[in-house]
Chain A
C-alpha cells in the first residue's frame, strides 16, 4: 500500500512531527511511505528521515526557495478552516498546492495530521483514496468555528483517529459520523537506545515547549515547595518557546536560580531523561503527553496534573506515577516530595513505568494502523464499485427469487 502523511511542517522539532516520523518508520517496513510537508523553511529535517521514507515539501519558503516571497502567500486561504491555530500561515498558495497534490496524488491512503489539513483531505482527496484524520489536539480545545468545520467535513473521512479514548468519546458525543471509523490509537513511543535511569540522581526533569499551556509557572511554584524541604534537588526544564524570558523572571523572583535550570531544546531527549529520576508535568491540557510516555520508557516515574486527557491514560496512578488534581499545586508538591524522599518507591515505580509503557511500542501502534488502513481500503474499494456491484447483486438475487417462486 502507498501511504502518505500530510504534515504541517516536517523539518522541525515537536510532538506531532516526532510521532509521525516514528509511525512512518514502522509502516515503511511493509508499505511505501511518504511524508508530505506543507512548508519547508530549512534544508534538513531535525529528525532522521526513516529508511525508505520520502519527505516532500509543497511550498519551499527557504531564503532563495522557489516560493519565497510568492505574492499569493499574502492572499488569505479560502479552504483552511477558521479557528485553526495555524491559519495565519496558510494562504491562497497553500490552498492551491494542497488541493493540487491531493487531486493528483498517486497514493492509497492519506493521513492528515492536523484539523485544517484534515478538512483539505475531506474536500479534495481522490475518491479511491482512504482518508484518515489524525487528531493530535483534542476536540474541546478547538474554537467553535473549527468545530463547525470539522462537523461538516469529518463525515466525509474514512476514519477519525484520536490519541486518547477520552477524546474519541467526546467526538462520538459531539459529532455525527455515520460510517466513519472512530477510535483512539495512542502515539508510538520508541524504546530508548540507552539503559534506563536508575533513580539515583537528584534531578527532576520536565520537557516541552515553553508555552502557557504547559503551566511552567505552576511547576516553579510546586518545585519551590519541594526545594524548601530538599534543597539538594534540582529541576531541569528542556525546551524552548515564547515563555522563556517570563520563566527566567519568575525563577529570579522565587529565588530558584540555583535549583531550576532552563536547558534549552535538546535532541535526542532520551539522553537527558536518563540523567533524572523523576519526571514532572503540570500541563493543564495534554492531548497525549508524548514526553510523559517517553520519560517513562526511560525509567522515570511521573508526577503529573491529571488534565484532559493524556496523563490519566498513560500513567497508572500509584503504580508508575502519581496524579494530582489539575490545578492542585499543594497536591502536586506533596506527590513530588513523596517520590523525592522515598528512594525505594522511586526505583520501584520507575521499573514499573518501563514495563507499563511498552504498550506504546511503535511495532504495536503501527500494527494497529496497518490493520485499520487495510480494513478501510477494502471497505472503500467495496464502496466505490458498490453501486455497480449492488445492481448486479440485486438483479441476481431477484432472478433467484423469481426462479424459486416458479414452480
Chain B
C-alpha cells in the first residue's frame, strides 16, 4: 500500500526527495554562499508581495549573495532557474549560520541582515533587513511592575535627552533613556500605559536619539534566528483588568501588547 522508495543509486531520481535543495553558509560579514544540489543557471530571489527580483549567477554549484547587494527589507523567496527549464522553489539543505551568531556589524555601514530560514512549507526564504540607523534590542527585564529594555544604537548618535516611546493609533507612552556611549537603557512603569485601552494591536517601540530626531525602531536582528516571536518570550505584567506583555513582532521588532 503506497510504498515509496528512496532515489536509486546515482541520485537524481524523483523519489521522496524530489525537491531542489540548496545548502547555505553565512559568514560573519553577512555574505551568503549557496551550494545547489542540482545544476542551475541562476538562483533567483523574489521579494514577497512585489515583483522585485534579484538574480545571482551560479558558477559551478555555487551562488553568492554579497553584503553589498541591495535587497529591500522583507521576505525573499529563493528559486532555482535551470538553463532551459522552469523555475523551481528551493528547499533548504544544510544551513551553516554559525557566522551570524553574535554578529557585530560594521559601525560605518548600514545594518544589513539576511537570515535564511525554512518557511512553514519547508521552502528556502531569506528574512532581510536593511537599516540605518538601527536600534538593536538586548536584554529585557520584567520585574516589579517595570519593563526595562537595553540596547545599542548603530548609525546615529545618542543624546542625553534620548527617549524610548511606544505608540499605536489609540495610545502613546514614553520614557527617558539612559545613555552610555552607543548603549541605552529605558524603563517603563506600567502606570505609564493607559490601562483602560483594549488594544490588540502591538505598539512598536521607537528610540528617539534626540528630541528633534525621528524615532528608530527597536529590533533584534544581529543573530541567526529568523523568527524571534516564539524564542524570546518575556513575562506579562498585570495592567488593570488586562495584561501588558513585551515581545517581538513577526518582523522581529520589539513591541508592547495589551491582552
Contacts and interface: CB of A to CB of B under 8 A. Distances in A.
A53 B9 CA distance: 11
Interface in B123-178: 139-143
Contacts of B143: 255
A271 B97 CA distance: 7
Contacts of B15: 49
Interface in A52-96: 52-58, 60, 66
B5 interface: yes
B96 A271 contact: yes
A55 B9 contact: no
B204 to A, nearest CB: 20
A48 B9 contact: no
Contacts of A257: 140, 142, 232-235
Contacts of A51: 6-9, 11, 13
A264 B226 CA distance: 13
A263 interface: yes
Contacts of B140: 257-258
A56 B1 contact: yes
Interface string B224-247: 110000111111000000000000
B16 interface: yes
B1 A66 contact: yes
B83 interface: no
A252 interface: yes
A254 to B, nearest CB: 11
B102 to A, nearest CB: 7
Contact of A275 (B2, B9, B97): B97
A40 interface: yes
Interface in B66-104: 94-98, 101-102
A51 B11 CA distance: 8
B17 interface: yes
A201 interface: yes
Given A193-B94, A203-B101, A268-B94, A53 B5 contact: yes
A49 B94 contact: no
Nearest to A54: B5
A62 to B, nearest CB: 10
Given A201-B98, A258-B140, A268-B94, A44 B2 contact: no
A48 B17 contact: yes
Contact of B231 (A40, A195, A262): A262
A371 interface: no
A373 B2 CA distance: 28
Interface string A248-282: 10011001011001111000101100110000000
A49 B4 contact: yes
Contacts of A270: 94
Interface of B: 1-9, 11, 13, 15-17, 94-98, 101-102, 139-143, 224-225, 230-235
Interface of A: 28, 34, 40, 44-45, 48-58, 60, 66, 193-195, 197, 201-203, 248, 251-252, 255, 257-258, 261-264, 268, 270-271, 274-275
7 contacts: A51-B13, A54-B4, A54-B6, A56-B3, A201-B98, A262-B230, A271-B94
For the complex of A and B, list the 4 residue pairs with the smallest distance between their C-beta atoms, beginning with the closest.
A49-B6, A56-B3, A49-B16, A252-B235
